[in-house]
A and B are shown apart, each in its own frame.
Chain A
């Protein structure tokens, strides 16, 4: 059993799916967690992809920051675990 090997990837793993939704690269964006108030660049999120959808969790408290489910007709984006996403206006 390999239970203690992390089963998540870092936030960069979510970049492709999120670029299709936002048309910006979110990996450098700052996200604030509604669970613990921790803010960090999105690339530091723990991203679980071996699941029915993609789930990004706070590296501080494991709160769900964001979920993306792609169905044949729609993409569902749940951002309720983020107080904000801060995206720089200067590239």
Chain B
């Protein structure tokens, strides 16, 4: 037995860590359904709109003053690649929701460029989701969703909206961009919920 096991270094994790139907990749594929928005931090704004229409806003400076967390999580894309132990820095949605009064069950995430994706609110809270603005110690590149993206790593990566600009709370589970075109409304990679009806 080697002195340093693969598990100790965090490298060489095996396929048994992967959800069904996924393969391991070392690079970070860029998927995009449109032109890459280039949003300067000074023009960036993040909003949470409640079901009663109350708006909560953060500009970049206010957002940066919120407590940030270092996050290491596996990513699973519905196009079947998975990337393990990716390092991010971001603000927990728990911090952003601290002063938000809501009884809504569902959220539509909206992005610069028009992308949308729907999630249950409970999947964004309790340390499960972040607005991430650093990847691997660097400011998040535009092609990966910078200046900031939603990060919900326990669901397929299309739920982690790049270039996120706001969340709209709702009592109804409306469908987002890919969910209206055949993708699963929830998207749990461990249950292989790729397509509607899976």
| Residues of A participating in the B interface, judged by any CB pair closer than 8 Å | 1-3, 6-8, 46, 48, 50-53, 55, 57, 62, 64, 67, 69, 71-74, 76, 78
Contacts and interface: CB of A to CB of B under 8 A. Distances in A.
A52 B38 CA distance: 22
Interface of B: 29-36, 38, 78-79, 114, 141-143, 158, 178, 180-183, 194-196
A57 B30 contact: no
A78 B142 contact: no
A35 B180 CA distance: 19
10 contacts: A3-B143, A8-B35, A48-B32, A52-B158, A53-B33, A53-B182, A55-B34, A57-B34, A71-B182, A76-B181
A52 B178 contact: yes
Contacts of B79: 52
By secondary structure, the B interface counts as loop
A51 B157 CA distance: 11
List the 8 shortest-distance A-B pairs measured between CB atoms, nearest first. A76-B182, A69-B182, A71-B195, A51-B33, A55-B33, A69-B181, A76-B181, A67-B181
B134 to A, nearest CB: 15
B181 A53 contact: yes
Contacts of A62: 34-35
B183 A3 contact: no
Nearest to B77: A52
Contacts of B142: 1, 3
B183 A52 contact: yes
Contact of A3 (B38, B78, B182): B38
Given A1-B143, A3-B141, A67-B181, A48 B195 contact: no
A58 to B, nearest CB: 11
B181 A51 contact: no
Given A52-B158, A62-B34, A76-B182, 7 more contacts: A1-B142, A3-B36, A7-B32, A52-B31, A55-B34, A69-B181, A71-B196
Contact of B32 (A51, A64, A76): A51
A3 B141 CA distance: 9
Nearest to B183: A52
Contacts of A53: 33, 178, 181-183
B195 A50 contact: no
